[in-house]
């Protein structure tokens, strides 16, 4: 494809799909259809001038979709077999170009409407999780501020399968928090998750512990049975009991009495 007079290689995408991704700010294009469409959407865009808002496609326009007899008589078409073949071909081409020019605003209008629908489809695809969570779980993920909750919230769709499956929840937490996570059960109704986050100082430990609070509240509400309560602790089991300014000892984190 030629983009602003430079050749670039693109996948075999529909023109509307490519334009919606790379030029989302342009809503109106002037379209010329080349009328040598091959198959699927292979090489759909022949050239694109983003400055002039003009594109040339390989697909058929309105002119190619209408019967030729609307524009030319049988005598004119049969004249191609007569002696003045080259002259007649040139005349017919000029007439054809004028007709195509007449249809260009309509071709452009249809194309831009198709582009609008493509943008709507892409928007729905990008925001389908938000819509599902809002409609079926009454949860607005766009208002979520905690980064951990925001990343795990889309799994609400699978909450019926995850609820009570502690092994899977632990694995999800380990992937989400990028550290080792395990759990201990204290009595039949209390589950304590152990988050093994290494290398925190006193302030980092306090901040991280507070940041995890909304996450585990979310876990308890959506992924644990109603009769089970959730708690969590942040630990560093790797640090040795050595008093040092570089690695300060923090009670109940890397120091235990």
In tens, the pLDDT along 198-244 reads 878 888 888 999 999 999 999 999 999 888 899 999 988 776 655 55
DSSP codes of every residue in 136-158: HH---GGG---HHHHHHGGGGGG
Q: Is residue 131 part of a domain?
A: no
State the residue range of the domain holding 176.
140-235
Residue 198: which region, alpha, beta or left (left: phi > 0; alpha: psi -120 to 50)? beta
Q: Is residue 249 part of a domain?
A: no
The domain that holds 168 is classified in CATH as 3.30.300
Whether residue 192 is found in the same domain as residue 165: yes
Whether residue 228 is found in the same domain as residue 120: no
Q: How confident is the model at residue 187 (pLDDT cuts 50, 70, 90)?
A: confident
Quick one: tokens of 131?
A: 């819509």
Q: Is residue 170 part of a domain?
A: yes
Which of 126, 160, 186 is where one domain is finished? 126
Average pLDDT over residues 139-146: 91
pLDDT digits (tens, 9 = 90+) for 67-91: 877 777 766 656 555 556 666 777 7
Q: Is residue 256 part of a domain?
A: no
Q: What does the CA dihedral 196, 200, 204, 210 come to, rounded to 10 degrees?
A: 10
The whole-number pLDDT of residue 120 equals: 86
Average pLDDT, the chain: 83
Whether residue 106 is found in the same domain as residue 161: no
Q: Is residue 166 part of a domain?
A: yes
Whether residue 53 is found in the same domain as residue 152: no
Whether residue 91 is found in the same domain as residue 169: no
Q: Is residue 180 part of a domain?
A: yes
**Is 236 within 8 Å of 196 (Cβ atoms)?**
yes
Prediction pTM value = 0.54
- Residue 193's DSSP bridge partners are 183, 232
Q: Is residue 244 part of a domain?
A: no
pLDDT digits (tens, 9 = 90+) for 148-183: 999 999 999 888 888 989 999 999 999 999 999 999
How many structural domains compose the chain? 2
Whether residue 59 is found in the same domain as residue 120: yes
């Amino acid at each position: 494809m030629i983009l602003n007079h430079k050749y670039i290689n693109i996948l075999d995408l529909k023109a509307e799909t490519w334009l919606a991704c790379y030029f989302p700010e342009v809503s109106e294009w002037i379209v010329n259809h080349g009328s040598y469409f091959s198959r699927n959407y292979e090489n759909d865009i022949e050239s694109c001038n983003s400055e002039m808002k003009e594109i040339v496609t390989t697909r058929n326009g309105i002119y190619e979709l209408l019967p030729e007899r609307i524009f030319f008589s049988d005598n004119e078409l049969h004249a191609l077999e007569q002696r003045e073949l080259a002259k007649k071909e040139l005349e017919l081409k000029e007439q054809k170009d004028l007709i195509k020019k007449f249809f260009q605003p309509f071709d452009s209008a249809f194309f831009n409407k198709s582009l609008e629908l493509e943008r709507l489809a892409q928007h729905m695809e990008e925001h389908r999780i938000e819509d599902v969570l809002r409609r079926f779980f009454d949860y607005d993920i766009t208002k979520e501020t905690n980064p951990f909750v925001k990343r795990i919230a889309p799994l609400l769709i699978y909450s019926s399968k995850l609820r009570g499956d502690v092994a899977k929840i632990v694995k999800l937490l380990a992937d989400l928090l990028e550290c080792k996570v395990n759990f201990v059960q204290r009595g039949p109704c209390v589950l304590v998750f152990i988050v093994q986050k290494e290398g925190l100082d006193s302030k980092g430990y306090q901040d991280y512990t507070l940041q995890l609070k909304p996450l585990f509240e979310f876990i308890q509400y959506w992924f644990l049975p109603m009769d089970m309560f959730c708690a969590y602790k942040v630990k560093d089991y790797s640090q040795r009991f050595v008093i040092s300014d570089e690695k300060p000892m923090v009670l109940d984190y890397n120091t235990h009495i």
